[in-house]
């Protein structure tokens, strides 16, 4: 029995020793798998390792614009980061510069608009109000009341007619004005007279 107890004690000590010497894989999370120093990812140049964040390997990167930031290794490798944010800002600015605005009205938006549902009725600017359907239209930061109708179909039809007159008319007049190529200011104004819309334009 004494021999058995000694053997058991030795075996238990062996198990304890092994458990203390086995590497803790949890502590190794975020360890550098590949040295990315000097590599370029878009506008980002990897300068040196950074302190790991939440177990993720991170790198200090310098953007071409001069900013430095910490980026995860996965974010770099998978292409989630290509700049410090300046690239996205430039793209947004370029898109903005390519748009043509007249009195805060975007020509391209009106030209490529789609009929979308942004309310419970299923058609933009058509609302159910006290059992009837109310329609309106926006133009140059103003909202124009079209009318109130007994049926949804009547309200949608009135809205489409107003779009054709105002939105489509504005786009068509704008391109006609561009083709003329003179310095005359572009004029396209809307007013409601006797229950419908009247357009004032110099085209």
Residuewise pLDDT in 10s, the chain (203 residues): 443 344 444 433 443 343 333 333 333 334 556 899 999 999 999 999 998 888 889 999 999 999 999 999 999 999 899 999 998 888 777 765 655 777 778 887 777 775 555 555 568 889 998 999 999 999 988 999 999 999 999 999 999 999 999 999 999 998 888 888 777 888 999 999 999 999 999 98
Q: Tell whether 105 and 143 lie within a shared domain.
A: yes
Q: Is residue 26 part of a domain?
A: no
Q: Is residue 16 part of a domain?
A: no
Q: Is residue 8 part of a domain?
A: no
Q: Tell whether 44 and 132 lie within a shared domain.
A: no
Q: Tell whether 79 and 164 lie within a shared domain.
A: no
Q: Is residue 19 part of a domain?
A: no
Q: Is residue 58 part of a domain?
A: yes
Q: Which domain holds residue 127?
A: 96-201
Burial (CB count within 10 angstroms: exposed 0-12, middle 13-18, buried 19+), residue 67:
middle
CA–CA separation, 76 and 81 (whole Å): 6
Q: Tell whether 112 and 151 lie within a shared domain.
A: yes
109, 139 contact by CB (below 8 A)? no
149, 132 contact by CB (below 8 A)? yes
CA–CA separation, 59 and 49 (whole Å): 4
Q: Is residue 158 part of a domain?
A: yes
The whole-model pTM stands at 0.51
Q: Tell whether 71 and 47 lie within a shared domain.
A: yes
Specify the number of domains making up the chain.
2
Q: Tell whether 123 and 192 lie within a shared domain.
A: yes
Q: Tell whether 129 and 151 lie within a shared domain.
A: yes
CA–CA separation, 195 and 132 (whole Å): 18
Q: Is residue 23 part of a domain?
A: no
Q: Is residue 46 part of a domain?
A: yes
């Amino acid at each position: 029995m004494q021999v058995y107890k000694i053997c058991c004690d030795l075996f238990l000590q062996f198990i304890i020793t092994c458990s203390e010497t086995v590497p803790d894989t949890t502590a190794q999370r975020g360890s550098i798998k590949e040295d990315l120093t000097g590599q370029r990812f878009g506008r980002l140049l990897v300068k040196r390792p950074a302190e790991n964040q939440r177990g993720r390997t991170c790198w200090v990167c310098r953007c071409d614009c001069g900013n430095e930031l910490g980026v995860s290794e996965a974010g770099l490798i998978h292409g989630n980061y290509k700049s410090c944010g300046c690239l996205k800002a430039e793209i947004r600015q370029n898109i903005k510069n390519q748009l043509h605005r007249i009195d805060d009205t975007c020509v391209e938006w009106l030209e490529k608009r789609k009929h979308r549902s942004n309310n419970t009725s299923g058609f933009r600017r058509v609302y159910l109000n006290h059992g009837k359907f109310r329609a309106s239209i926006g133009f140059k930061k103003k909202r124009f009341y079209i009318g109130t109708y007994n049926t949804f179909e009547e309200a949608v039809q009135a809205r489409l007619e107003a779009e054709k007159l105002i939105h489509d008319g504005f786009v068509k007049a704008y391109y006609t004005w561009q083709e003329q190529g003179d310095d005359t200011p572009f004029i396209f104004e809307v007013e409601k007279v006797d229950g419908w819309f009247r357009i004032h334009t110099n085209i």
